[in-house]
Amino acid sequence: MRKEEKTALIQQMQEGFGRASIALVSEYKGMTAGESADMRRRLRAIRGEMRVAKNTLIRRAIKDTPYAALDAQLGGPVGLILSFEDPVELAKAVSGFDRELGEKFKIRGGVLDGKPLTPDDVQALATLPPKEVVMAQLLGLLNAPATRLVRLLNEPGSMMARAIDAIGKKNGAGAAAEGA
Which residues are paired to 81 by β-bridges? 24, 50
Least confident of 69-73, 89-93, 161-165: 69-73
What would the mean pLDDT of 11-22 be, rounded to a whole number?
80
What would the mean pLDDT of 49-65 be, rounded to a whole number?
83
Q: What whole-number percentage of the chain has pLDDT above 90?
A: 0
pLDDT mean across residues, the chain: 81
- Which residue blocks in the chain are alpha helix, DSSP H? 3-19, 33-45, 55-62, 87-101, 119-126, 131-179
CA 51 to chain centre: 21
Question: Distance between CA atoms of 83 and 105, rounded to whole angstroms?
Answer: 18
Handedness of CA 43, 44, 48, 52 (dihedral sign): positive
Reported as a pLDDT band with limits 50, 70 and 90, residue 175 is low
